[in-house]
Amino acid sequence: MLKVEDLVVNYGVIQALKGISFEVNEGEVIALIGANGAGKTTTLQTISGMLTPTSGKVLLEGTDITKVPGHKIVSMGMAHVPEGRRVFAGLTVLENLKMGAYTRSNKSEIADAFERVYESFPRLKERQNQLAGTLSGGEQQMLAMGRALMSQPRIVLMDEPSMGLSPIYVEEIFNIIESISKAGTTVLLVEQNAKKALAIADRAYVLETGNIVLFGDATTLLNDNSIKKAYLGE
Ligand code: ATP
């Protein structure tokens, strides 16, 4: 479904990605794990068209989207939940969700999207008239995820969804990611919480300073000694 080929991204003299390649098959949950500064956010931003790589390719269902702008990529079936949530604080929950459906004009499709999102996130329905800026961190994360799902993507990229959340919310967010996957959406998940990410992922790639240093089945990686030491705190 998604293929990244030999991606190089430079920020001035800093090479953030040094030629990474990986793929995500339809229906999979793929985790991208790695330490701070490894290049995880840069990878997602390049895939979703927020950054243009120095070289390399991004293919979505065989179509080269490397130079396609972000808003067009959304209408091609990919959504991105950015790091740090970035909800529109001065808009209500409902208005934020509506923004997520900007690629759609058909009213019944939008109503359908609302129904599905409210099914996954009953809390958002309860709070649909509340200003997003007054939601708790966990609720804002749900809103950011819900907003991305309003475009009814076939693949969703999630950047550190558990960051800064209390353990109960972390649990809830990971349960929701699993249910989004079960409902048929492909997921590319960037996480510092490697243990939780590997627990729900099918496969994973490990990034270190701009290179993929290890990849494999999530369960194999969970039992890998170098992963245990470096990322699982064991
Ligand atoms: P984190 O988990 O801390 O968010 P990350 O794995 O997502 O880390 P990136 O944010 O992709 O890593 O950063 C990769 C490298 O590129 C880092 O060395 C970072 O300092 C650098 N970098 C990222 N954004 C910029 C920028 N706008 N200008 C210059 N350097 C940048």
pLDDT for residue 125 is more than 90: yes
pLDDT for residue 234 is more than 80: no
Does the Cβ of 14 fall within 6 Å of ligand 1?
Answer: yes
- Tokens 């300073």 locate to 209
Give the separation between CA 234 and CA 218, rounded to whole angstroms. 17
* Domain boundaries, given as residue ranges, for the chain: 87-152
Does the Cβ of 40 fall within 6 Å of ligand 1?
Answer: yes
pLDDT for residue 94 is more than 90: yes
> What does the pLDDT look like over 7-57, one tens digit per residue?
999 999 999 999 999 999 999 999 999 988 999 999 999 999 999 999 999
Residue among 40, 54, 206, 211 whose CB has most ligand 1 atoms within 8 A, to mutate: 40
Contacts of 45 (CB under 8 A, 6+ apart): 51, 80
Please give the ipTM for the structure prediction: 0.92
Q: How many CB atoms lie within 10 A of CB 11?
A: 11
Does the Cβ of 11 fall within 6 Å of ligand 1?
Answer: yes
Q: What is the mean pLDDT of the chain?
A: 94
If you measure from the C-alpha of residue 42 to the centroid of ligand 1, how many angstroms do you get, rounded to a whole number?
6
**Between 164 and 46, residue with greater pLDDT:** 46
Give the separation between CA 16 and CA 42, rounded to whole angstroms. 7
If you measure from the C-alpha of residue 92 to the centroid of ligand 1, how many angstroms do you get, rounded to a whole number?
31
What is the structure's pLDDT at 196?
93
> What does the pLDDT look like over 170-220, one tens digit per residue?
999 999 999 999 999 999 999 989 999 999 999 999 999 999 999 999 999
If you measure from the C-alpha of residue 127 to the centroid of ligand 1, how many angstroms do you get, rounded to a whole number?
34
If you measure from the C-alpha of residue 183 to the centroid of ligand 1, how many angstroms do you get, rounded to a whole number?
32
Closest CA to 113 of 13, 121, 21: 121
Q: Across-strand partners of 103?
A: none
Does the Cβ of 210 fall within 6 Å of ligand 1?
Answer: no
10 Å CB burial of residue 39 (0-12, 13-18, 19+) is: buried
The pLDDT confidence band at residue 232, using thresholds 50, 70 and 90, is confident
Q: Is 57 in contact with 2 (CB distance < 8 Å)?
A: no
Ligand 1, atom 2: closest residue by C-alpha: 36
pLDDT for residue 81 is more than 90: yes
